[in-house]
Amino acid sequence: IGDAASAGNYGYTNSGYSVYEEENERLTESLRTKVSAIKSLSIEIGTEVKNQNKMLSEMDNDFDSTGGLLGATMGRLRTLSRGSQTKLLCYMMLFALFVFFVIYWIIKLR
């Protein structure tokens, strides 16, 4: 025991205790590094989730306003369709006649 005590390791060198202690320190440092990396990664994930939630909220507001605009447009279209069917049929017939003459004129020029 006197030889080991003079070596400065208090007799632990012969039993292998310092080897296990060094390995524990190395593993503890490795674990500390991994925990630090996981912590920074989780903070980044939290920040990204907050940004995505903000973007989804803005998109929800945009869809709500678009839905309101579409609803108003559909209301106007419904009002227009309740109008005189005779006028609408007359306009469609005039348009069809115009298209027919344009096509006839194009074929005649060839």
Q: What is the pTM of this model?
A: 0.47
What's the N-to-C CA distance of the chain in angstroms? 118
pLDDT values of the chain reduced to their tens digit, one per residue, 110 residues: 444 444 454 544 555 678 889 999 999 999 999 999 999 999 999 999 999 999 999 998 888 888 888 888 888 777 767 766 777 778 888 999 999 999 999 998 87
- Structure tokens that stand for 40 in this block: 């920074």
Name 7's Cβ contacts closer than 8 Å, sequence gap at least 6: 13
Q: So where are the chain's domains?
A: 14-83
